[in-house]
Amino acid sequence: MSFLVEENPAERRFEILVDNALAGFTAYVPRGEVLVCTHTEVDERYRGMGVGAALVQGTLDQIRARGGRVVPECSFMAEFIERHPEYADLVVPAP
């Protein structure tokens, strides 16, 4: 199984493709260099397979690579960051 996380700016979300099929997304609201991540959703067919974690990790890696920051309003993302403190430096308080 191959994962690919890509940003879809038109939809304001990061999407994860599993074997070239859309498996989930993390929606955001841009606030300058900060992305307020509001919701993460994984298709039922892909739950329990690590797709959500791969999606959030890929999203955070891309935000870090471009020097951005994140407000994790989405509880799934907030919990991921708690379990992976190496991403804590990307978090800023809600505007």
Q: How many whole angstroms separate alpha carbon 11 and alpha carbon 24?
A: 13
At 1, the pLDDT band (50, 70, 90 cuts) reads confident
Give residue 59's region: left, alpha or beta (phi > 0; psi -120 to 50).
alpha
**Average pLDDT score over residue span 12-40:** 96
Residue 76: partners with Cβ closer than 8 Å, 6 or more residues away: 40, 52, 56
Domains and CATH numbers, the chain: 3-90 (3.40.630.30)
> What pLDDT, on the 0 to 100 scale, is given for residue 95?
65
**69 and 92 in contact (C-beta within 8 Å)?**
yes
Question: Is 54:14 a contact under the CB 8 Å cutoff?
Answer: no
- With cut-offs at 50, 70 and 90, classify the pLDDT of residue 10: very high
Radius of gyration of the chain (CA): 12
pLDDT tens profile 37-66: 999 999 999 999 999 999 999 999 999 999
Percent of the chain exceeding pLDDT 90 equals 89
